[in-house]
Amino acid sequence: MLLRLLLFCMLATVATSTLAMTLYQSTDANGAVFFSDRHTPGSQAFVIQERRVEPVRRPLLQRPRAVNPRPAYRYPLPWRGGPFRLTQGPNGSFSHTDAKSRYAMDIAMPEGTPIIAARSGTVVKTENSQIGRGNDASGNFVRVQHDDGTQGVYLHLKQGSVSVRVGQRVAVGSLLALSGNTGNSSGPHLHFVVQQSTEAGLVSIPYEFNQPVGTLPNFAAGL
Ligand SMILES: [Zn+2]
């Protein structure tokens, strides 16, 4: 008896190691279900197979899918000419510290550089008459409402150079004004910021140019 049990165990071990094993199911007169590794009349055969589980391999650099399927808009450089240099970026400690300008970028450029729309939209506000530092820190500016509700603002423009009016539709590359040095400006430059209207008022939001600033002129916009 002991020998038979040992033999059975050995057989079972062999069957398991081959990853497939046949069992026979039978039911006795009392309705109890039995399983055996030997065929008996009326029993039903089962082949038990273990599947080899392949380890799941994920690419190391796989990133989670973005929740928003629309890629973020990348702004072409809003000027003609250059290359110019970025003099203050997002969170710049000089003046990009408040909610309205936190993600603004300052690009130094000679006064009179053509400033063009970096994104299509509708002009919603302009200032064109300020001389020098004046009363408004923004100096002369053009504010364009984009179709997604954000606004692009071009600041410190040259007095009298704004060439668009409120309500006017502008396309990417449309001439808006000439750069200047008006308002709170320590030297000729463009302050370009993208803002979003919130319950707390206008706040700046992060944006990216579609090419590095300070490397190549923006030939795409035409010189
Ligand atoms: Zn600035």
Instruction: Compute the distance between CA of residue 79 and CA of residue 117 in angstroms, rounded to an integer.
Output: 8
Residue 1 has pLDDT above 60, yes or no: no
Per-residue pLDDT for 70 more than 90?
A: no
Separation CA 135–CA 113 (nearest Å): 23
Is the pLDDT score of 17 beyond 50? Answer: no
Please determine, for residue 222, whether its predicted confidence score (pLDDT) is greater than 60.
no
Angle ∠(23,26,29) on CA atoms, nearest 5:
160
* Cα 177 to middle of ligand 1, angstroms: 17
Q: What is the pLDDT of residues 78-133, one digit of tens each?
A: 999 999 999 999 999 999 999 999 999 999 999 999 999 999 999 999 999 999 99
User: From ligand 1's centre to the CA of 191, what distance in Å?
Assistant: 4
Summarize pLDDT for 26-57 with one digit per residue, the tens. 777 777 776 677 777 777 776 766 555 555 56
Report how far ligand 1's centroid is from the alpha carbon of 154 (Å): 10
The CA 98 to ligand 1 mean position distance, Å, reads 11
Checking if the pLDDT of 177 tops 80, the result is yes
Q: Which homologous superfamily does the CATH classification assign to the domain defined by 76-207?
A: Glucose Permease (Domain IIA) (2.70.70.10)
End-to-end Cα distance, the chain:
99
The arithmetic mean of pLDDT across residues 127-147, rounded, is 95
Percent of the chain at pLDDT above 70? 73
Which of 99-103, 120-124, 170-174, 214-218 is predicted least confidently?
Answer: 214-218
pLDDT at 139 over 80: yes
Residue 76: the pLDDT is 98
Q: What is the mean pLDDT of the chain?
A: 83
Domain segments of the chain as ranges: 2-49, 76-207
CB 188 within 8 A of CB 108: yes
Q: What is the rounded CA–CA span in Å between residue 208 and residue 105?
A: 10
| Ligand 1 centroid distance, CA of 126 (Å) | 17
Please give the residue that has the higher pLDDT: either 60 or 183: 183
Cα distance between residue 13 and residue 150, in whole Å: 70
pLDDT band per the 50, 70, 90 thresholds, residue 149 = very high
CA of 221 to the centre of ligand 1 (A): 23
